[in-house]
């Protein structure tokens, strides 16, 4: 099983919606993926496989977080984009 | 049960001079109905200034939200349709015409409610209906019908 965390600045709006979408995509692809979400301050204690955020937040995070892969999503409603960006990480 | 989008928080044809003005105007009904404090809207703007306009989560659509401690008093989701689209400086999804306004008093958000919102936005005719709506009631009717289907 892979473990992902989804984040936005507040940890309750966009990250919650993105969590719903990532779970939809994982279910569709039968991925064994554990998804949780947090505010950006909660990222420090995460020890899973990758981080998912909307692209602006992802760009910001890449400057600080070097150890864990960070996936940036441009259009949250585009399940194909989410699928294409997560598939390589899921198949590793 | 309370509707997914609160009719009191829906506005059409709102003019805004820039993205900050758009956030304030979209949030006005939430302040008026005591769902959030004035400070909450200032925090939305501050977050976007610090972190970039990630709140524009899909083409032409923003989700205006901040944290509980920024001044969320009651739960609710509203929708403002701008008269003219406004640039939010989001390189992928500009300009913004639709602003969802969210106030959530639960630390990690309301997953069920957000799942419903995602489902609503996934419907092919949602934005078409909203962009052609002549009055707020047409949007309320659409959302009611959607919620009826979801049950």
Instruction: Look at strands B76-86 and B96-103 and give their pairing.
Output: antiparallel
Q: How far is A9 from chain B (nearest CA, A)?
A: 7
CA triple B78-B79-B81, angle to 5 deg: 160
Q: How far is B10 from chain A (nearest CA, A)?
A: 18
Position A38 scores a pLDDT of 87
CB contact under 8 A, A20 and B111: yes
Cβ burial of B72 (10 Å; 0-12, 13-18, 19+) is buried
Complex ipTM over 0.95: no
Task: Considering only CA atoms, give the Rg of chain A.
Answer: 12
Position A40 scores a pLDDT of 83
Position A43 scores a pLDDT of 86
Considering only the beta carbons, identify the residue of A13, A21, A76 that sits closest to B109: A13
**Domain ranges, ordered by start, for chain A:** 2-90
Identify the three-state secondary structure at position A73.
strand
* Closest C-alpha to B98, from B20, B4, B17, B23: B23
Q: Identify all chain A residues contacting B68, using CB atoms and an 8 Å cutoff.
A: 12
How does B126-148 read in b/e, with b if 16+ C-beta sit within 10 Å?
bbebbeebeebeebbebbeebbe
**Two tokens at A11?**
């940890």
* Closest C-alpha to A75, from B146, B90, B110: B90
- The ranges of chain B with pLDDT < 70 are 1, 108-109, 151
Position A88 scores a pLDDT of 96
Asked if A5 and A38 touch (Cβ cutoff 8 Å), the reply is yes
Query: Which residue does chain B place closest to A42, by CA atoms?
Result: B108
CA triple A23-A29-A32, angle to 5 deg: 65
| E strand or H helix at B119 | helix B111-122
Identify the three-state secondary structure at position B79.
strand
Position B51 scores a pLDDT of 78
SS (H, E, C) A3-39: EEEEEECCCCCHHHHHHHHHHHHHHHCCCCEEEEEEE
For residue range A4-34, list pLDDT tens digits in order: 999 987 777 889 999 999 999 999 999 999 9
* Domain A2-90 listed as CATH 2.60.40.10: no
Superfamily of domain B7-150: Mannitol-specific EII; Chain A (3.40.930.10)
Position B1 scores a pLDDT of 60
Q: For residue B123, how many other CB atoms are within 10 A of its CB?
A: 13
Asked if B67 and B50 touch (Cβ cutoff 8 Å), the reply is no
For residue range A60-87, list pLDDT tens digits in order: 888 887 789 999 999 999 999 999 999 9
| φ/ψ (deg, to 5) at A24 | -60, -45
| E strand or H helix at A51 | strand A50-54
CB contact under 8 A, B58 and A77: yes
């Amino acid at each position: 099983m892979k473990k992902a965390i989804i984040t936005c600045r507040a940890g309750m709006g966009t990250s919650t919606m993105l969590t719903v979408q990532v779970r939809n995509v994982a279910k569709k692809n039968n991925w064994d993926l554990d998804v949780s979400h947090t505010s950006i301050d909660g990222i420090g204690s995460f020890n899973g496989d990758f981080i998912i955020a909307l692209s602006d937040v992802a760009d910001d995070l890449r400057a600080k977080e070097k150890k864990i892969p960070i996936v940036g999503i441009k259009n949250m409603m585009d399940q194909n984009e989410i699928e294409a960006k997560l598939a390589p990480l899921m198949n590793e | 049960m309370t509707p997914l989008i609160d009719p009191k928080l829906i506005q059409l044809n709102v003019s805004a001079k820039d993205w900050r003005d758009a956030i304030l105007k979209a949030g006005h009904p939430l302040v008026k109905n005591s769902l959030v404090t004035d400070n909450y809207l200032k925090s939305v703007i501050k977050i976007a200034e610090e972190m970039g306009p990630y709140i524009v989560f899909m083409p032409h659509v923003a989700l205006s939200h901040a944290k509980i401690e920024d001044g969320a008093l009651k739960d609710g989701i509203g929708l403002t349709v701008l008269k003219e689209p406004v640039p939010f400086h989001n390189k992928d999804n500009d300009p913004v015409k639709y602003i969802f306004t969210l106030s959530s008093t639960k630390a990690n958000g309301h997953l069920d409610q957000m799942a419903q919102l995602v489902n609503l936005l996934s419907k092919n005719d949602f934005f078409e209906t909203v962009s052609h709506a002549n009055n707020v009631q047409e949007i309320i009717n659409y959302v009611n019908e959607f919620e009826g289907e979801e049950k």
